[in-house]
Amino acid sequence: MKVLGIVVEYNPFHNGHLYHLNSAREIVKPDYVVAVMSGSFCQRGEPAIIDKFSRAHIALLNGVDVVFELPFVYATQDAGGFAKGAVWLLERSNVITDIAFGSESANIDFLTKIATVMIDQPEPFPRFMKEELKKGHSFPNARKYALLKYFELTKELSPKEVLRIEKSNDILGVEYIKSLKELKSKIKVHVIKRVGAEDKDESFGGKFSSATSIRKLIIHGDWDKVTQAVPETSLKIIARELNEGRGPITLQQLEEIALAKLRLMGREELQRLYGFSEGIDLRFVECASKFGELDNFLSCVKAKRFTMSKIRRLLLYSLFNISQQFLSKCNELGPQYLRVLGFNTKGRQLLSVIKRKSTIPVLSVCSLYRKVLKKVIKDKTGRFVVDPNLFEKQLLLDIQSTAIHSLLFPNKSERSAQRDFHIPPIIIE
C-alpha cells in the first residue's frame, strides 16, 4: 500500500496546489493521499483567509483522501518547526510511504546536501553561522551566508546552487529532509518542480499566481482574476464563505485584540514567551505603547535580524501566550494527535488503518477528546507515545486559535467559539 503525504496550508487552494497534487500523484502513484494542513493560523503569522473546515473541504474536492490539522504550535513556527511538526505528524500516522513537496530547484541531491550540513553541523559551518548571526542578519540570511562560505571551502555546491535556498519552498524542502533524517524515517521523499509565482510574490501571475497575491485579490473583490488563479471548487467554497460572512480574515482584523493584549502585558510576562529574546520583548512593549495601528507597530518592531514573518509569528505568540517551555516541549515530544478535518470514502478506509497503526491517537470528534485521551492512557500495547498534558495543551491551543479566528468573522452571528466542537469532520462520499 502506497500512501502519499503532503504538507499544505491551502490559504487558499489554487492552481499551483492542484498542479503539485496531480504531479505528485503521477510520480508516486499512491493508493491514498493524506494532507497535513495548517489550521486557523498560518506559517506567515497570519490568520487563514477562510476557516480550516472550508479549506479541508476544498482539498477533499481536489482529490486528497484525508486532511489532518497541523497543530497551531507547529503551523506558526519558522520553517524548521513547521516542517518538523508536519513530518512528525505524518510519520506518526504510521502509514505514509512517500512524501512529495514543491521545490524551486527540484533537486533532491542539492537539498539533501544542505540538510546534511544542517544536521551534522560539520566544522567550520557552526562557526560561520555564529559569525553571520553576530553581524545582525536574520536567521535565514545568516544561514545562507554561512552555507555559501562552507561550500566555498568544500566545493560540493557552487554559490549559485547554494543561493537557491533563498526560495521559500527550497528552505522548507531542506527542513523536510532534515526532519525525516532526524526521525530516522523510512518515508521516501519526492520533489516536484514548482510552477509559476513564488509564495511571497504579491503580484497577480495569471493561472499560476501565488497564494499571497490571490489573498489580495480576494480582499479587494477582484473575482475575475481570482477565477483565473484557483480551481472552480476552490472558488465556489471561498465565495460561499465570504457570502456567509465568514471571511476574508486578515491580520489587520487582529489589530486591536493583539495590541490590547500587548498593552496589558508586562515585559517580564513577554520574556517568558518563546522567541522574545535579544531585546525584541522591549521593542514589542515600546512599539505597542507608541502605536495603535498594526502596520505602524510592525514597522516599528522590524529590525534587520528579524523577518516580518517572524515578527508576525511573535505577535501571535504574545496573543496566545506561547511559552518558551511549552514550545520546547512540543518540539521535543512532537504532535500528540491526528485531528481529522475531513475525509472521503477512500479516506475512511485509510483512517481505519491509521486508527490501528498510529502512535498518536486519531481525533475525529473534537468534543470526545477526553474519551480518546482516556483510551490512550489505558492502552496496554505500548503503541502510543502521547504525553496527556501536552495533548490537552496542544489541542486547547488549536481550539482557542479557532475561537479567535471566528471572532474576526464579519458576520457576528457566526462567531461562535465552539466551531471545533460543533463542526464534524467534512465527509465527501
Interface contacts to a second copy, rule CB under 8 A: 256-257, 259-261, 263-264, 288-293, 319-321, 400, 403-404, 406-409, 412-418
CA-closest candidate to residue 239, choices 384, 58, 2, 79: 58
Q: Which residue number, 4 or 262, has a Cβ lying nearer to a second copy?
A: 262
Q: What is the dihedral of CA 345, 351, 356, 360, to 10 degrees?
A: -170
Q: CB 269 → a second copy: shortest distance, Å?
A: 11
Q: Which residue number, 84 or 246, has a Cβ lying nearer to a second copy?
A: 246
Q: CB 286 → a second copy: shortest distance, Å?
A: 9
Q: Which residue number, 97 or 321, has a Cβ lying nearer to a second copy?
A: 321
Any idea which residue has 493508493 for its cell? 31
Residue 66, beta-bridge partner list: 34, 343
Q: CB 392 → a second copy: shortest distance, Å?
A: 11
Q: CB 415 → a second copy: shortest distance, Å?
A: 2
Q: CB 313 → a second copy: shortest distance, Å?
A: 17
Q: CB 319 → a second copy: shortest distance, Å?
A: 7
Q: Which residue number, 162 or 259, has a Cβ lying nearer to a second copy?
A: 259
Task: With beta carbons less than 8 A apart as the criterion, state whether 72 and 397 touch.
Answer: yes
Q: Which residue number, 328 or 418, has a Cβ lying nearer to a second copy?
A: 418
Q: What is the distance of C-alpha 54 from the center of its chain?
A: 16
SS (H, E, C) 75-117: HCCCHHHHHHHHHHHHHHHCCCCEEEEEECCCCHHHHHHHHHH
∠ at Cα 34 (31, 35), nearest 5°? 150
Q: Which residue number, 230 or 249, has a Cβ lying nearer to a second copy?
A: 249
Task: With beta carbons less than 8 A apart as the criterion, state whether 378 and 355 touch.
Answer: no
Task: With beta carbons less than 8 A apart as the criterion, state whether 19 and 100 touch.
Answer: no
